[in-house]
Amino acid sequence: MVEFDTVYDRRNTNCSKWDSIKETYGEDDLLPLWIADMDFKANPPVLKALKDTAEQGILGYSPAPDSLYDAIQHWQKRHHDYSVSKEAILFNSGVVPSLSLAIQAYTKPGDAILIHDPVYPPFAKVVEQNDRKLVRSQLLTEQGHFVMDLTEMEKQIVAENIRLFILCNPHNPGGRVWTKSELEAFGKLCAKYDVLVISDEIHQDLIFAPHVFTTFSNVHPTFKDFSITLTAATKTFNLAGIKNSMIFIENPDLRKKFVAAQERNFQNEINIFGYVGTEAAYQNGDRWLSELLVYLKENIETVNDFLQAELPTVKMMRPEGTYLIWLDFSAYGLTDAQLQKQLIHIGKVVLNPGISFGPKGTQHMRLNVACPKETLFEGLRRIKASFE
């Protein structure tokens, strides 16, 4: 059994989650349940592989080995029934840097790019910082979870001449695992108007049964012609600091354009620990991941039970995947600034403000439950105390 209950003191380890708090909020007794990394140690075989690499002692330039491609292909086939070809696999230091490259590769300044609202905040930033026009399509809430508004999206695609859509699959912050039929309808809409799809699938392995993850480009044989997939082992296995991610591009023309953007930006070489950690994670990770999912699911149920019993004013969106929970505080009638102030200065707990995910995130917060139960209970106690 993997040990997820141990509480590690991450303070003074130079980690963003714990060590940036004092500088950001001026207080250092806050409990961080925000940024998407986990308070769990990585899988021992991954740590051993990283250590063995360091012990080689000479860490020169290092291309991606064939064994890494094999590990990725087997993982994708085994876990997602996706047969990605070797030539389709490219590497980069992260999914967000790859989003930026994709925007540069496939659009020009001023082009309109569509994203959902709410969605992972760097989607908007990367569009705007590349001088493209940002258009947001609000997700609808139906039966307690997000659904896409394809009618509205079609209008926006036409009115704004949308060239590219950045999809979050599964969805952060809502934890939606888009179904194959939802993706099919969405993909058909994009195909109809020649809209390219960048599918960010970094949360693809964090799925709770009976939900099933579907790779966008695998939904229909034609979908890989107009889409690229961004993913990584770093979210699944808590390795964000090794900075490694993959880009899968089956369409040779799209791949050529992406590689040209990588070369223009000198972003085609990755650090050796990224390769090594990714390969070791995919080769040895099945059992660790299945136990992680059990633990995360228990944590999600813990939040659900706590809110129902202790804080029924706060409504949670039950995630189908990811370790993130979208919490609705709107019944308190607070502004976003007031809500944040109460959580930080009264409850002393740090969540991600919903408003940073887009206008639809107003009066919401995103809670990260990838932590030991003891930490989670303390976090929930503090959230409750924020409103007493």
Ligand X SMILES: Cc1ncc(COP(=O)(O)O)c(C=O)c1O
Residue 240 sits in the site that holds ligand X (CB under 6 A): yes
Residue 200 sits in the site that holds ligand X (CB under 6 A): yes
- 98: tokens are 């790859």
Residue 218 sits in the site that holds ligand X (CB under 6 A): no
- Least distance (Å) between residue 211 CB and ligand X: 17
Map tokens 């980069």 to a residue: 92
Give the closest residue to 154 by CA, choosing from 188, 127, 120. 188
Binding mask 155-184 for ligand X (x = CB under 6 A): -------------x---x------------
Count, residues near ligand X per rule CB under 6 A: 13
- Least distance (Å) between residue 175 CB and ligand X: 11
Closest CB to ligand X: residue number: 94
- 319: tokens are 């995630």
Residue 39 sits in the site that holds ligand X (CB under 6 A): no
Bridge-based pairing state of the strands 349-350 and 324-328: unpaired
Bridge-based pairing state of the strands 140-142 and 145-147: antiparallel
Q: Which residues, other chains included, contact 327 with Cβ-Cβ below 8 Å and sequence gap of 6+? A: 314, 315, 316, 317, 351, 354, 364, 365, 366, 367
- Using the contact rule CB under 6 A, the part of the chain among 140-148, 232-240, 285-293, 308-316 near ligand X is 232-240
- Using the contact rule CB under 6 A, the part of the chain among 44-52, 88-96, 145-153, 206-214 near ligand X is 88-96
Interface residue with ligand X, options 100, 229, 234, 340 (CB under 6 A): 234
- 153: tokens are 């999206």
- 298: tokens are 């228990």
Interface residue with ligand X, options 202, 239, 343, 367 (CB under 6 A): 202
- Least distance (Å) between residue 261 CB and ligand X: 16
Beta bridge partners, 197, equal 165, 227
Residue 104 sits in the site that holds ligand X (CB under 6 A): no
Q: Which is nearer to ligand X, 39 or 200 (CB)?
A: 200
- Least distance (Å) between residue 98 CB and ligand X: 8
Interface residue with ligand X, options 217, 245, 340, 342 (CB under 6 A): 245
How does 279-289 read in b/e, with b if 16+ C-beta sit within 10 Å?
Answer: bbbbbbbeebb
Residue 96 sits in the site that holds ligand X (CB under 6 A): yes
* Alpha-carbon distances of 329 from 141, 155, 313, 315, rounded to whole Å: 15, 31, 7, 7
- Least distance (Å) between residue 238 CB and ligand X: 11
Residue type at position 9: D
Residue 229 Cα to chain centre, angstroms: 13
Q: Which is nearer to ligand X, 172 or 214 (CB)?
A: 172
Q: Distance between CA atoms of 227 and 205, rounded to whole angstroms?
A: 20
- Least distance (Å) between residue 51 CB and ligand X: 22
Residue 100 sits in the site that holds ligand X (CB under 6 A): no
Binding mask 309-338 for ligand X (x = CB under 6 A): ------------------------------
Q: What are phi and psi of 157, to 5 degrees?
A: -60, -45
- Using the contact rule CB under 6 A, the part of the chain among 94-102, 103-111, 284-292, 307-315 near ligand X is 94-102
Residue 36 sits in the site that holds ligand X (CB under 6 A): yes
Q: What are phi and psi of 156, to 5 degrees?
A: -65, -40
Find the angle CA(104)-CA(110)-CA(113) to the nearest 5 degrees.
Answer: 70
Interaction site with ligand X (CB under 6 A): 36, 94-96, 120, 168, 172, 200, 202, 232, 234, 240, 245
